[in-house]
Structure 1
Amino acid sequence: MTEDFSHMSPKGYQLQGPNEPQKLHLQEKEAPKLRKTPRPFRDNLREFMSNTTLHGFRYILDDQYTWVERLWWVVMVITSVVVCAIFIHKVWVKWDETPVIVSFADTSNSVWHIPFPAVTLCSETKPRQRVFNFTKASFDRWADPTTISPEDLQTYYDMLLLCNNDRSDGPDFANVSAIKTLQRLAPTLDEVFLACLWDNLTCPQMFTHTLTKDGYCFTFNMLSAEEMFRMENLHKDYYHVAGHNRSEWTLERGYPQDASVNTYPLRGPSYGGVEFEVILLTDIRDLDQVCRGPVQGFKIWLHNPAELPNMGQNFFRLPIKFQSAAAITPRVMDTSEGLRHYPPRKRQCYFPEERYLRFFRTYTQRNCELECSSNHTARRCDCVPLYMPHGPETKVCGGGKKSCIIQALEELSLSKSSLKPESKEEVHQCDCLQACTELKYDAEVSQAVYDLTTYRRNPNPDIANESRLPSGLVVYFAEELFTSLRRSELYGGVDFLANCGGIMGLFMGFSFLSLVEIIYYFTMRLWCQIRRSATVVAAE
């Protein structure tokens, strides 16, 4: 029979067997609850990974998945993060090392917006042989020095500043009288030019004297010395550029908006026609092959009006009894204002206010290189060649310093390449990057025989008996329109952010709100969790 225990309390009861001498009393008690220690950072991290919008994270701590599945998701998430970091690093390197791209401008420009190129002509006749016979003086100097007069010997030493000579000879330094000798022996404008064609201008109105590596030459359409040089820093012994033309044109801003057609530097007329033409003469009675070698005629250089011509670079020849026609294509490069905050080394150019030249007012790469050559040669040889700009305290090198000059310029040239790494400091001191606004002229030259001896409208007897031989030069723009180049940003800040966002979205599902979510969970949310935990602990 079943015994009734309903009268007893649910919290305590007795069990008594009929044959047991003693009573066993059992008391059931409520088990105490175990309080969970607050761990705000762990709980916050678990909550974040369970609710985040980033792909893959919620599977890692989900108890519904086996440890193998969760481990697989850990590997996938880490792989995605690593690959994403690698790709973002590549984008950063590209943005940091090559932030600049050179592309064609959106529209074409007319040649009216730029000046006609400056044209510099240098005759290969240095001393007129009828005035001074350099060949005879050179022979006497080395064959029998007693036969040459002191005056001829001094003139011979002065001409070594221009004439070819395989060895150093003469005094180490030249004086002002040597410069005057070069001017006196050089062909005059009247002897070189037979006719000029440019808007009814005469040859003396078109050309001025310019001192170059090849001596005194004739230049058309170049800025005056006051606008090209910092005259306060330049020596006063002789001039590098003659003429006093005034110009409102600058390399950076171009012509003013209100400038007329007839301005300076002169603008080029329409394309395809004869724009600039000159007829030059070479007197065969003045030729001296010992001074300049077997190549006779003229050297021609087309250059920026703001640059001093350097006849050692980018010239073409005009032979005797030939006409050279040069079809000009402008090469204009400008730089967007978006690159101004980049360092010059990254954008590979200087804005005008960023690079100061001691002798030149306008910064161009060639002006900078010429000034750098002058400074390096002065340090190396204690003097400079006569054609290089220099200060009043620097001497002009004579024929005795020729070997030193050649060696100094060779050192400077090698320092720009990897052939002589120990000379990299010279390049660093020069630092001649391109100008951010650059104007150059490419020429396509064609030649044809040019003979005026039978030309019926030319009664010149010297030309008729071929004692003075003609050469012709024609320069014109090949096209009316040209397309300039523009240096601009390859990646701007927005482009870099968009690239990084695309990579992170592809591999992790990351967005701007994901960043807000991370900041929220590990700042505001974590702070609230810590405060709540501190309140619970204090209540206990």
Structure 2
Amino acid sequence: MFWCFILCSMLTLSIYTLWNSLSLNADNPTILYINTKTGIFWGKTFPTITFCNFNHISKKKLNELLIKDFSSDIADQIRPLIPYVLYSSLPVNATPAAYRSLHMLLTSANYTHSDFLQKISPDCESQLVRCKIRDQIYNCNVLFQRVQTQHGFCCAFNYDAVINRNQTTEELSIHSNRFGYRWGLTVLLDPQVEDYYASRNKFAGYQIYTSTGNDFISINMPNQMVFPGDEIHIHAAQHITEATTLLKNQDLHWRRCYLPNERKLLAFPEYTQQNCFAECRSKKVWRICGCVPPLWPRAQNWTVCSLMQASCVMAQIDTLLRTIYPSDKDYKTDLKAERYICDCYPECEYCIHRADFDGMTLDRNYSINNMDLYRGIELKNHLVVHTFYADMSGNYMRLDVQYHWQNYFGLFGGITSLYMGISFISCFEIVFFLLVRPMGHLLTRITKRRQAMKKQVKLKKMHTVMRK
């Protein structure tokens, strides 16, 4: 009985420890391994480079538009209201009456809010002075395209895997087969300080975003600020993560990541977690106000907000820019908490570009390199950005399940051995001592009883015969 008591106590402790270990596995079902740090990325894509000017409105384009399409009286009324067109990207504070007045003035010339904003935003042609890639000078219009972001209209290279209509990604991605400063992308930019009209900052420059081609440039993406007179080197490195077969066979809400083409979005052709978050915020605005702010991602059937709905959007902006998942949900311990983040799980397989920035002062004195890049240009407020792969290799990662049947087998054996000395032999011994041996003793006693009863019956018969 004492031996059985000790055995039951140790068994209880083993089950308790195993349960805690399995609970930890439920909180962290996947694990990321490093396959190699020297993987070769021949033929892989170049990172997407996006330049967003601090200036959101071109003074020159605004004046030309007001003179061309508006009377002098209406133009004078519009000028003090111009910053209000940027309510979705800059922290402006206006009354509903001010939004209504600007809406009526623009409507008088058959302008919508979106059309007007697009026409007065800085273009890429005048900002991108000269571009160089694969050690050859290219027209910047061939390499860059003007794209909508939540920061306004920006200039992007290799955005959404499309350079422009005339040149495919394959034709320009050959530069990614080489590494080093010479074979990367070099851009000479002019922030056009004299053309500034509406800026978030009190200085000129750009926000630089380094991302993958399918990521929408949203308000919460990390960026690097650069200023006139800077020369910036962006050292890019690729990190590719692939999912194992064991992970792919698991349920979605267990592995908590999406496989390729497993999740479709309404506003984007390709799924990324960044795009999912951006679409989720837009959907929340659409449900509350019945429209989506200009420059925000939207589905085709979602209406773009006019200035008449600006007050509704601004009333919700503080909530929309917070973290999406509810504060009372602990996504680290509650298995279902992540379902509240609009089902925006990360990708199981993805490629990210890590970027390190080095900055220095742009000074052409005593320099003889890149003469073709600077030829015929008087440097004033210009800046230069060099983007290149720092090395020919990068990290290959492997996303796998934290535990599979072999891990569980070893976990069970290790914990039970710690408490009870479990092994295949000891298991047999436990079965033997708890079942086989007692059954053997019981059968032996039963057999002896039967034999004794047979002897008694036999003796009775003998006594009866002898009496007769």
- 2:26 is matched by which residue type in structure 1? D
Following the alignment from structure 1 to structure 2, what is the Cα–Cα distance between the partners of residues 404 and 265? Answer: 44
- 1:390 is matched by which residue type in structure 2? R
Worse overlay, 161-170 or 197-206:
161-170
Worse overlay, 340-349 or 168-177:
168-177
Question: SS where residue 294 of structure 2 aligns?
Answer: coil
Following the alignment from structure 1 to structure 2, what is the Cα–Cα distance between the partners of residues 428 and 94? Answer: 21
- 1:471 is matched by which residue type in structure 2? L
Q: Is the 8 A contact 1:210 1:217 kept in 2?
A: yes
Following the alignment from structure 1 to structure 2, what is the Cα–Cα distance between the partners of residues 399 and 295? Answer: 28
Tell me the residue number matched to 1:96: 26
Question: SS where residue 305 of structure 1 aligns?
Answer: coil
Tell me the residue number matched to 1:23: none
Corresponding pairs, count: 419
Following the alignment from structure 2 to structure 1, what is the Cα–Cα distance between the partners of residues 224 and 213? Answer: 18
Tell me the residue number matched to 2:393: 481
- What do you get for the CA RMSD once the two structures are aligned? 4.1
Tell me, yes or no, if structure 1 residue 212 matches structure 2 residue 142.
Answer: no
Instruction: Using the TM superposition, give the Cα deviation of residue 375 of structure 1 relative to its aligned residue in structure 2, in angstroms.
Output: 0.5
Instruction: Using the TM superposition, give the Cα deviation of residue 242 of structure 1 relative to its aligned residue in structure 2, in angstroms.
Output: 6.3
Tell me the residue number matched to 1:78: 8
Residue 332 to residue 153, structure 1, CA distance change in 2 (3 Å): same
Instruction: Using the TM superposition, give the Cα deviation of residue 104 of structure 1 relative to its aligned residue in structure 2, in angstroms.
Output: 1.5
- 2:94 is matched by which residue type in structure 1? R
Tell me the residue number matched to 1:435: 347
Could you tell me which of 271, 281, 290 is aligned with 1:373?
281
Tell me the residue number matched to 1:271: 179
Q: Is the 8 A contact 1:208 1:243 kept in 2?
A: no
**CA-to-partner distance for each residue in 1:130-154, whole Å, 9 max, x for gaps?**
33259x99xxxxxxx9885466578
Tell me the residue number matched to 2:216: 308
Residue 304 to residue 266, structure 1, CA distance change in 2 (3 Å): farther
**CA-to-partner distance for each residue in 1:380-417, whole Å, 9 max, x for gaps?**
22221212222333222244545543553532454546
Could you tell me which of 306, 313, 322 is aligned with 1:405?
313
Residue 177 to residue 224, structure 1, CA distance change in 2 (3 Å): farther
Q: Is the 8 A contact 2:55 2:196 kept in 1?
A: yes
Could you tell me which of 266, 269, 286 is aligned with 1:358?
266
Counting aligned pairs with the same residue, the percent is 18
Worse overlay, 384-393 or 405-414:
405-414
Structure whose CA Rg is larger: 1
Residue 88 to residue 116, structure 1, CA distance change in 2 (3 Å): same
Gaps of 5+ in 2: 331-335, 458-468
Tell me, yes or no, if structure 1 residue 112 matches structure 2 residue 42.
Answer: yes
Question: SS where residue 159 of structure 2 aligns?
Answer: coil
Tell me, yes or no, if structure 1 residue 121 matches structure 2 residue 51.
Answer: yes
Question: SS where residue 433 of structure 1 aligns?
Answer: coil
Residue 146 to residue 196, structure 1, CA distance change in 2 (3 Å): closer
Worse overlay, 397-406 or 332-341:
397-406
Residue 75 to residue 516, structure 1, CA distance change in 2 (3 Å): closer
- 2:210 is matched by which residue type in structure 1? L
Tell me the residue number matched to 2:118: 183
Residue 224 to residue 93, structure 1, CA distance change in 2 (3 Å): closer
Question: SS where residue 483 of structure 1 aligns?
Answer: strand
Residue 153 to residue 177, structure 1, CA distance change in 2 (3 Å): farther
Question: SS where residue 190 of structure 2 aligns?
Answer: strand
TM-score (normalised: structure 2): 0.75
**CA-to-partner distance for each residue in 1:272-319, whole Å, 9 max, x for gaps?**
32311010113333122x443413111111110122222542111120
- 1:214 is matched by which residue type in structure 2? H
Q: Is the 8 A contact 2:282 2:296 kept in 1?
A: yes
Q: Is the 8 A contact 1:191 1:281 kept in 2?
A: yes
Instruction: Using the TM superposition, give the Cα deviation of residue 444 of structure 1 relative to its aligned residue in structure 2, in angstroms.
Output: 1.6
Instruction: Using the TM superposition, give the Cα deviation of residue 110 of structure 1 relative to its aligned residue in structure 2, in angstroms.
Output: 1.8
Residue 210 to residue 352, structure 1, CA distance change in 2 (3 Å): same
Tell me, yes or no, if structure 1 residue 166 matches structure 2 residue 93.
Answer: yes
Residue 372 to residue 265, structure 1, CA distance change in 2 (3 Å): farther
Following the alignment from structure 2 to structure 1, what is the Cα–Cα distance between the partners of residues 157 and 142? Answer: 9
Residue 97 to residue 447, structure 1, CA distance change in 2 (3 Å): closer
Q: Is the 8 A contact 1:377 1:384 kept in 2?
A: yes
Question: SS where residue 187 of structure 1 aligns?
Answer: coil
Following the alignment from structure 2 to structure 1, what is the Cα–Cα distance between the partners of residues 311 and 396? Answer: 42
Following the alignment from structure 2 to structure 1, what is the Cα–Cα distance between the partners of residues 213 and 139? Answer: 20
TM-score (normalised: structure 1): 0.66
Q: Is the 8 A contact 2:43 2:177 kept in 1?
A: no
Structure 1 residues 1-400: aligned runs within 5 Å: 60=1, 71=2, 73-106=3-36, 108-132=38-62, 148-149=75-76, 158=85, 164-168=91-95, 169-171=98-100, 177-199=112-134, 200=136, 201-223=138-160, 243=165, 262-263=170-171, 267-274=175-182, 275-288=184-197, 290-310=198-218, 312-399=220-307
Gaps of 5+ in 1: 1-59, 61-70, 138-144, 226-240, 248-261
Q: Is the 8 A contact 1:271 1:480 kept in 2?
A: yes
Tell me, yes or no, if structure 1 residue 497 matches structure 2 residue 406.
Answer: no
Residue 397 to residue 118, structure 1, CA distance change in 2 (3 Å): same
